Structure 1
Amino acid sequence: MRIAVVAQKFGHVGGVATVARWLVDGLRARGLEVDVLELAESRSDVFSRRLTAPQTWRRRTLAGETLELGQQAWGANAVELEVMRYLPRKELTDELNGYDLVQVVCGGPALATVARHVERPVAVQAATRVSWERASILARHSGLERKLRGAMTDAVARLEAPALRRADVAFLENWEMLRYTQSVGQRNAHFAPPGTDVERFFPADQRAGDGPLLSVCRLGEPRKGLENVIRAYGLLATRHATVPDLVLAGRGTLYPVAEQALQNSPVRHRITVLSDVPQDGLPELYRSAGVFVQGSFEEGLGLSSIEAMACGLPVAATATDGSRAAVADGETGYLCELGDADAIADGLSLAIEGCLQRGDELGEAARVRAVEMFSTEACLGNFIRHYETALGSPRGAG
């Protein structure tokens, strides 16, 4: 079976890239032939035809170079317009028709529009809708900029339902996305989260019950709600002077709202920011912590929370669609409802407090849930079984 995995940002840091690499590595380990096609995601993409660069209009091909992880880059026409990055290109369609199956890995399902004219079976793996993902970001803007961003978001959103309906099979990361996909007429839709390497992410011999509170994410991404975590920690530290310190870790630097929340925090001296943590350092970082904290406004799944659970950490999180799928509320951690800033801070602080009180019990259950529901072994077979069904024959046909 020859599979084309289509994604954006394959070589970058982030949820979609992590899922795509997990899937590619897993399929190759099972003996399948997999090629990666990385589509343009930036208005300045060098392999695209750009409205603002007339010298690119006569570009003979949108096929780009082979990049650092072996993926082939593909440009788009009029790439400055986001919606154009999701539309089919005949040259790309011809390329995809040379495979047995096409797997699109995306945040929102609009990207699967690129395979609209592909004659081979098409699978879509999606985490969220663009309107859900960008709601908190759009709320930060006003005036003309908000209108322009909103118009582009609406244009992309209109591609989502048709893309999901056309797919031969849809894999969704959370239950809300599954319900939406079924509601638009896709009958072959499945809750199918990506897996985690539970042999790499495993608990310490002795759980660090007094270890710091830990949040791991892209530090510069406003959707991650780090200001919620900082404010919640401030409330908790006011109530309990002996609460452990807080560590915010990940790639990049804090976005302005989070940085301001940190500077305004009365306990900022107890908050450490670790920027650009290497991937191979994450397991030990999790194992050194006592509770994992996630304050996101939106998550398709929340891979870092599952990695933390695999390391035996209870999770305190906002009740996004992703955390509802990952965390068993009251069993492997605690969730707090989203609301205004004060409500989130208060609810999240109480969730953290609950995790500190029942840390050992919740952490053990978290490890079990991670292994049973979110391990690579548990998750990868689900994809392959549906591939075989879509092809109508056992693995290896074609």
Structure 2
Amino acid sequence: MRRIGSRWWRWRGILSPAVRAVGESEHSAFLDDRALRYVEARESKRDGAVVTESRVVGLVTQDFTRAGGVGTVSRWLASTLSAAGWTVRVFQLAEHSSDVGAKSLIRPSSLKAPMMRWDEAAGLYHVGAWAAELEFMRYLPRRQLTGALDQCDVVQVVGGSPALGYAASRSTAPLFLQMATFIAWERPSATRHLRGVRRAWSRVNTPPATWVEGRALHAARAVFIENDEVRIELDSRGIRGIHAPPGIDTNHFIPGQGPARREYILSVGRLSESRKGYERMLASYAELRRIMPTAPPLLLAGKGALSPSVVRLITELKLHPHVQVRGDIPSGDLVTLIQGAAAFWMTSFEEGLGLSAVEAMACGVPVVATDTAGTRVVVTSDVGALVDQNPFIPLEFATATAEVLAAGARLRTAARARAVSRFDTDVAIRPYLDAYEAAIGRGSDSGAEWRT
């Protein structure tokens, strides 16, 4: 188990005054008329009849409109809660100094922008941040955001780490966090490709962001978690964690109809993200072709572009004829792309869960993945293989893949069955609904058990 080092305590004396100063100095809230139209009555009498309006959840995130795990989970929650009868208000907080509403230290003109504004086209609120170049400033409470969240029945924060929850911590509504990992756990693999000033800047931002994580966790009513490693860490802090990995629509992600043509080995993810381990994926594929010359081609799909070093490695390993790269795959093509795969690969250094692997399994595609806290929840021996993270990954990954390809239909059937039974939306949303209803005095919390 990895621990969050206690050495970060010293940042508390530095950050506490800054947090108070920012909170007290913000201007009055900006909410235009279109934003205010979402203020609903809870229950009222109309012409003698009792009319019960839907409950309201404030969904706070940074990546609602972007690709990646946080965006996928946020959109899944929004659509699923809406289908369950909840009114969902989405608040997208600034993640970069160039985001809508972000007040940049190097762009004085940005200081005049309203802190919060309604985006009619996207159907959400954009919420800025002061001094957005500093990571921890993006996690601080804003008076405008707090006022809007106070109008909700519950507040649900979705972030890779719990830090974003601090932005919602002053609301009077019950606060729930959804998290996959901790910043100190994820940061080393996410910044492997950075050099010089950028890498140093990332390291400087990590301690204060870690301090904010602790404040957010203690403000939450409960924390929805995805894997055992996070649960153990929360238990050590005396914080309640509810096992609630996000789900997928297993009526959308389905096996192909008729005899399937298994044409390639597939990987889906953000192509520029160093955490995904594309270098060792290519080394594993080179090894696979050595032991299995007839191996299917490797297809790398996802948003963005591969880094120059990964592109060079394809050439150095003489894999150009066998490796295809497809960037910015339209969402409508994803299911068909997965259905044509013989196996799904994930070579990440760290994963909170790995929803792309779940989607592959739902399409009847077996998964070979490196052993992480998240993939350990998703992948079992009857649906694919987990490979230890050791110096021999290329050989072991290639060997495991050859065995998975030979297993054929047995693994494909089991992969689909596990995805449906464990990660279907109807199953996955239940812990959220139970916790919300308990918080607002209706029903009882299921106290979801931890299970693998």
TM-score, normalised by the number of residues in structure 1: 0.94
If you compute each CA radius of gyration, which structure gives the higher value, 1 or 2? 2
Alignment counterpart, residue 281 of structure 1, candidates 328, 333, 336: 333
* C-alpha distance in 1 between matches for 2:389 and 2:414: 24
Q: How far did 1:205 drift?
A: 3.6
Q: How far did 1:382 drift?
A: 1.8
SS at match of 1:102: strand
Other-structure match for 1:234: 286
**Residue 83 in structure 1 maps to residue 136 in structure 2:** yes
Residues 344-398 of structure 1: per-residue CA shift (max 9 Å, x gap) = 2222212212211213211111111100000111111221011111222249xxx
* C-alpha distance in 2 between matches for 1:285 and 1:54: 46
* C-alpha distance in 1 between matches for 2:308 and 2:275: 12
Q: How far did 1:261 drift?
A: 1.9
Kept in 2: contact 1:297–1:320 (CA 8 A): yes
**Residue 35 in structure 1 maps to residue 89 in structure 2:** yes
Residues 136-188 of structure 1: per-residue CA shift (max 9 Å, x gap) = 2334445554332112022211222231122001101222122222222212x
* C-alpha distance in 1 between matches for 2:396 and 2:207: 32
Residues 236-293 of structure 1: per-residue CA shift (max 9 Å, x gap) = 1011111111111111211223212212123321111112111111111111111111
Other-structure match for 2:389: 338
SS at match of 1:64: strand
Other-structure match for 2:311: 259
**Residue 203 in structure 1 maps to residue 255 in structure 2:** yes
Q: Aligned letter for 2:226?
A: E
Tell me, which stretches of 5 or more residues in structure 2 are unaligned? 1-54, 445-452
* C-alpha distance in 2 between matches for 1:53 and 1:283: 42
* C-alpha distance in 2 between matches for 1:312 and 1:125: 28
Kept in 1: contact 2:97–2:103 (CA 8 A): no
* C-alpha distance in 2 between matches for 1:254 and 1:216: 12
SS at match of 1:159: helix
What number of residue pairs does the alignment pair up?
Answer: 390
Kept in 1: contact 2:100–2:126 (CA 8 A): no
Kept in 2: contact 1:334–1:354 (CA 8 A): no
Other-structure match for 2:166: 113
**Residue 366 in structure 1 maps to residue 430 in structure 2:** no
Q: Aligned letter for 1:48?
A: A
Residues 84-112 of structure 1: per-residue CA shift (max 9 Å, x gap) = 00011122111111111000011111000
**Residue 13 in structure 1 maps to residue 75 in structure 2:** no
Alignment counterpart, residue 223 of structure 1, candidates 275, 298, 309: 275
* C-alpha distance in 2 between matches for 1:268 and 1:58: 50
Other-structure match for 1:319: 371
**Residue 355 in structure 1 maps to residue 415 in structure 2:** no
**Residue 170 in structure 1 maps to residue 223 in structure 2:** yes
Q: How far did 1:303 drift?
A: 1.0
SS at match of 1:171: strand
Q: Aligned letter for 2:101?
A: F
* C-alpha distance in 2 between matches for 1:210 and 1:36: 39
SS at match of 1:267: coil
Which moves more between the two structures, 270-279 or 305-314?
270-279
* C-alpha distance in 1 between matches for 2:225 and 2:259: 33
Kept in 2: contact 1:44–1:80 (CA 8 A): no
**Residue 51 in structure 1 maps to residue 105 in structure 2:** yes
Kept in 2: contact 1:302–1:323 (CA 8 A): yes
SS at match of 1:17: helix
Seen in structure 2, the aligned counterparts of structure 1 residues 345 and 209 have a Cα distance that, compared at 3 Å, is: farther
Seen in structure 2, the aligned counterparts of structure 1 residues 137 and 34 have a Cα distance that, compared at 3 Å, is: closer
Which moves more between the two structures, 81-90 or 257-266?
257-266
Q: How far did 1:22 drift?
A: 0.5
* Cα RMSD, aligned residues only: 1.7
Seen in structure 2, the aligned counterparts of structure 1 residues 13 and 145 have a Cα distance that, compared at 3 Å, is: closer
* C-alpha distance in 1 between matches for 2:246 and 2:184: 22
**Residue 245 in structure 1 maps to residue 297 in structure 2:** yes
**Residue 182 in structure 1 maps to residue 235 in structure 2:** yes
Kept in 2: contact 1:207–1:290 (CA 8 A): no
Q: Aligned letter for 1:49?
A: K
Kept in 1: contact 2:190–2:273 (CA 8 A): no
TM-score, normalised by the number of residues in structure 2: 0.83
